[in-house]
Amino acid sequence: MGEFDFDDRPVPVLKHKSGMNPLVLIGGVIGIAVLAVGGLWLMSGKPAKLTLDDIDSPTVNENETFTVNLKSHAEGLAPADWSYGIVAGPPGARIDSTSGVFTWKPNEEQGPGEYPVTVAVQGKSSKSVHGKAAFTISVAEVNQPPIVTPIDEQSIVPGNEVRIVIKAKDADKPAQTLSYRLKLGPKDAKVDATSGQFSWQVPEYGVTGPQVIDIVVSDAKSDGAETPVRFTIIVQPPATPLLRLAALLRADGLTVENTVGEGLPGFTGKASYLQSATRY
């Protein structure tokens, strides 16, 4: 009583017909399935890597085009699966969404100054995969020469005065004060340095034909941007034979005065008198 009769016979073990224990087989199948599911999950959940190379901060001049080709690197994405864009940048900046070529031409009003730029490469899939790069463009001021309105050829009779206002403006913004200088012209011709008014009292004799005038318009910058303007004044010969004779006499050193009326008359059918005196 209280004793147990132990049977020392071995207990039979169930085996798969392949000779493998079924429990071991089932456990192996389950493990493989878990690994496969986990691998798929890791593959589907791992985001692609998309990066942009750093870009040096350049200095560009006003009215000159700056261009840079963005370079990106990706793991898990083909080039056809991403596009480029500008996150922040100055007005007028452009980027090719496919090639990544960034261009910008700063205008006169945008210099001098500094303009931060942020560009990005973005994956086209639903996942937010992107890379960014930031740089600063420094725009240097470039002094522009003054803009001068061309002057047509002028014609005048001896004894009269020529007055011409040189019309010019500074192309820089903000505009600078301009100054005017006579570089080439006949005797007694002059130009006002501030207003740009050219004047010349044409002598009654001794000057005929084309007279070339060269005036230089300069701005106030130290680098001395200048614009030349050239025009021609045609001095006509006296209008009548009598006036031409008087001019020739004066050119020979004689003082010629009219004794009838004002000015030297032409041929009117009436007698006129010239009085001359030799100069000593």
Instruction: Render pLDDT for 69-78 as a digit per residue (tens, 0 to 9).
Output: 999 887 777 7
Question: Mean pLDDT of all residues in the chain?
Answer: 79
Query: Beta strand 113-123 with 82-88: parallel, antiparallel or unpaired?
Result: antiparallel
Higher pLDDT, 278 or 100: 100
User: Rounded to whole angstroms, how far apart are CA atoms 239 and 256?
Assistant: 17
Other CB atoms within 10 A of residue 205 CB = 19
Answer yes or no: are the C-beta atoms of 254 and 277 closer than 8 Å: yes
**58-72, 94-108, 255-269: segment of lowest average pLDDT:** 255-269
Which pLDDT score, from 0 to 100, does residue 223 have? Answer: 72
More confident residue, 49 or 163: 163
Distance of CA 18 to the CA centre of its chain: 83
Reduced to 3 states, what is the DSSP secondary structure of residue 76?
A: coil
pLDDT tier for residue 8 given thresholds of 50, 70 and 90 = very low
Assigned token pair, 89 = 């940048």
Res 138: pLDDT? 97
Q: What is the pTM of this model?
A: 0.58
* Range name among 59-68, 88-97, 236-245 with the lowest pLDDT average: 236-245
Examine the pLDDT at 256 and tell me if it is beyond 90.
no
Tens digits of per-residue pLDDT, 93-105? 999 999 999 999 9
62 backbone dihedrals φ, ψ, rounded to 5°: -55, 145
pLDDT of residue 130: 81
For residues 185 and 211, is the Cβ–Cβ distance under 8 A?
yes
Domains, the chain, ordered by start: 50-140 (2.60.40.10), 147-235 (2.60.40.60), 241-278 (no CATH)
Instruction: Write out the two tokens for 221.
Output: 């910058």
Alpha carbons 244 and 256: distance in angstroms, whole number: 12
pLDDT at position 18 over 70: no
Question: What proportion of the chain, given as a percentage, has pLDDT over 70?
Answer: 67
pLDDT category of residue 124 using cuts at 50, 70 and 90: confident
Contact (CB, 8 A) for 249 and 276: yes
Q: Which distant-in-sequence residues (6+ apart) come within 8 Å of 64 by Cβ?
A: 105, 106
The pLDDT of residue 153 is above 90: yes
Residue 189 has pLDDT above 90, yes or no: yes
Instruction: Kindly indicate the confidence band of residue 275, based on its pLDDT and cuts at 50, 70 and 90.
Output: low
Please write the tens of the pLDDT for every residue from 132-144: 999 999 999 999 9
* Residues making up the chain, counted from first to last: 280
Q: Confidence band (pLDDT; 50, 70, 90) for 158?
A: confident
Section 192-221 average pLDDT: 93
pLDDT at 180 over 80: yes
Higher pLDDT, 174 or 47: 174
Runs of H (alpha helix) within the chain: 22-45, 241-251
Q: Comparing C-alpha atoms, which of 250, 258, 259 is closest to residue 278?
A: 250
